[in-house]
Amino acid sequence: MASDSGYMERPVVSTDPNGDQSPQLSAQWDRIRTRLHSEVGDGEYRSWLRHMTLAGLDGDEITVQLPNRFHRDWVREHYGARISALWQAENAAVRRVDIRVGTPVAAAGGTDGLIVSPALLRTKAAAKIESKAEERPRPEEREAAGLDQRFTFEGFVVGKPNEFAYACARRVAEQPASTGFNPLFLYGGVGLGKTHLMHAIAWELTGCGQPARPSSVAYMSAEKFMYRFIAAIRSQSTMEFKEQLRSVDVLMIDDLQFLIGKDNTQEEFFHTFNALVDAGKQIVVSADKSPSDLSGLEDRLRTRLGCGMVADLHATTFELRISILEAKAARSGVPVPHKVMEFLAHKITTNVRELEGALNRLIAHANLFGRPVTLDATQEVLHDILKAHDRRVTIDEIQRKVVEHYNLRLTDMSSARRARAVARPRQVAMFLAKQLTSRSLPEIGRKFGNRDHTTVMHAVTRVGELMERDAGFAEDVELLRRMLES
């Protein structure tokens, strides 16, 4: 490593709310680079990896910078997974590594800020409450900060539940402020892609690859909007704040529900909103509920929010979750068996962020230990996540799952039919009921059309035998068990 010391810039931009880059982080980073160096060899390291600098740790995400797109793409593609794995091994707090274009800047104030793009789109800190010292409104907030490359339209998997919202977002990105689409109001539950779509719009509008004059876009969470506003009042610079906001082409406010009960900020937002719409500028807002359900928001604001296009991101379906997993797994380059994806899509149903997090962890693990992703490994690696999604299994649930899996009707579970196609799944359900619940054999028998406890016992033995003999069958039962397990 000594030969590289000249290139080992100290990380200088810290997004850590505590201020400077911690020495631990630097030490970890040094170890990771040494390790990479020895793994890839001198030539490869000098060509690509020595250009990396550490930007900082933000929440659970490490940001690594490279001087240009070319280097970034190369490093991301060839070493991204490895770097993630090494980080996760070094530092338990790290869940993700973001590799982006950026150069170390000697900026003391951090990169937090109001986004007045093109070059600038600061989104990460928006979710966070910064210390008061950082809240000084600075008129010249034009530090360079990258767009989050993951949150593009291309990276968004479209399915029935989100196709409408996606189409609306696309439309706004193509023709901001067109009639009928202003404001665009995106709403839906946590982790369904609201922020992703907003970034995608910003990404598109700030002119990647478009020769036309890029629009200036301001994106911030409602929370950030409030802190900015309060800080402006405190430092008697509300005029500047207003002017800054009213000078943009597109204003995006994420998680508007945060403004409920914050009357003064709401009022300010309302005026900004009106000023921008009157000037023919585009507004994009997201919230967890539709405008009419956002009780606690002033009526006149709710009314205006509902005046443009209101698009709902519905809960994901199993199919969409599978598509998302497929897309993300394909990008990682690590083969993920379909059974594993099915398992994850069954287990983690409400939040795409968690689904993604689970997959990333599997991939990081596979990369780190050079082992393939299997159902077993999945259960081991994701033990804690899966546990959080677990609930007590009932015989009814077991029957429903089994019936769904074998394409039968629920009545088949209690019917007297003895045809193999019905009897075998019924036995599987009894076996699972014995394994996964604390019900006694007679109790289980009763749930299956008042069968005798000896019938249940026979089913349990028979399924056990079959599993030993028939690997395909065993895998099926295993999958069902894992899906149901508590």
Which positions lie near ligand ADP, rule CB under 6 A? 150-151, 155-157, 162, 188, 190-196, 324, 352-353, 356
Among candidate residues 163, 175, 120, the one with its CA nearest the CA of residue 143: 120
- For the beta carbon of residue 53, count every other beta carbon within 10 angstroms: 21
The entry of Mg ion, ligand ADP, none that residue 156 binds, CB within 5 to 8 Å by partner kind? ligand ADP
Question: Minimum Å distance from CB 328 to ligand ADP?
Answer: 7
The entry of Mg ion, ligand ADP, none that residue 53 binds, CB within 5 to 8 Å by partner kind? none
Is residue 267 classed exposed, middle or buried when 0-12, 13-18 and 19+ CB atoms within 10 A define those classes?
middle
Distance in angstroms (rounded) separating the CA atoms of residues 145 and 100: 10
- Residue 42: alpha-carbon gap to chain centroid: 35
User: Would you say 177 and 300 are in contact if contact means Cβ atoms under 8 Å apart?
Assistant: no
Q: Report the interface residues with Mg ion, using CB under 5 A.
A: 194-195
By beta-carbon proximity to ligand ADP, the closer residue of 156 and 181 is: 156
By beta-carbon proximity to ligand ADP, the closer residue of 36 and 205 is: 205
The entry of Mg ion, ligand ADP, none that residue 352 binds, CB within 5 to 8 Å by partner kind? ligand ADP
By beta-carbon proximity to ligand ADP, the closer residue of 79 and 156 is: 156
The entry of ligand ADP, Mg ion, none that residue 249 binds, CB within 5 to 8 Å by partner kind? none
Q: How many helices (H) and strands (E) does the chain have?
A: 19, 8
Question: Minimum Å distance from CB 90 to ligand ADP?
Answer: 23
Distance in angstroms (rounded) separating the CA atoms of residues 328 and 25: 28
CA torsion through residues 299, 302, 307, 311, sign: negative
Distance in angstroms (rounded) separating the CA atoms of residues 352 and 325: 9
Question: Minimum Å distance from CB 285 to ligand ADP?
Answer: 12
Question: Minimum Å distance from CB 202 to ligand ADP?
Answer: 13
DSSP structure string for 260-291? TT-HHHHHHHHHHHHHHHHTT-EEEEEESS-G
The entry of ligand ADP, Mg ion, none that residue 193 binds, CB within 5 to 8 Å by partner kind? ligand ADP
By beta-carbon proximity to Mg ion, the closer residue of 253 and 430 is: 253
By beta-carbon proximity to ligand ADP, the closer residue of 312 and 478 is: 312
User: Would you say 87 and 21 are in contact if contact means Cβ atoms under 8 Å apart?
Assistant: no
The entry of ligand ADP, Mg ion, none that residue 58 binds, CB within 5 to 8 Å by partner kind? none
The entry of Mg ion, ligand ADP, none that residue 191 binds, CB within 5 to 8 Å by partner kind? ligand ADP
By beta-carbon proximity to Mg ion, the closer residue of 194 and 228 is: 194
By beta-carbon proximity to ligand ADP, the closer residue of 356 and 397 is: 356
By beta-carbon proximity to ligand ADP, the closer residue of 237 and 317 is: 317
Residue nearest to ligand ADP (CB): 193
The entry of ligand ADP, Mg ion, none that residue 94 binds, CB within 5 to 8 Å by partner kind? none
Question: Minimum Å distance from CB 189 to ligand ADP?
Answer: 7
Question: Minimum Å distance from CB 194 to ligand ADP?
Answer: 3
Among candidate residues 300, 312, 53, the one with its CA nearest the CA of residue 168: 312
By beta-carbon proximity to ligand ADP, the closer residue of 58 and 268 is: 58
- For the beta carbon of residue 408, count every other beta carbon within 10 angstroms: 19
56 φ/ψ angles, rounded to the nearest 5 degrees: 150, 175
The entry of ligand ADP, Mg ion, none that residue 225 binds, CB within 5 to 8 Å by partner kind? none
Residue 385 CB partners (closer than 8 Å, separation 6+): 348, 354, 357, 358, 361
CA torsion through residues 401, 404, 408, 411, sign: positive
DSSP H helical ranges for 290-351: 299-305, 318-332, 338-347
Question: Minimum Å distance from CB 190 to Mg ion?
Answer: 7
Question: Minimum Å distance from CB 83 to Mg ion?
Answer: 26
Question: Minimum Å distance from CB 93 to Mg ion?
Answer: 21
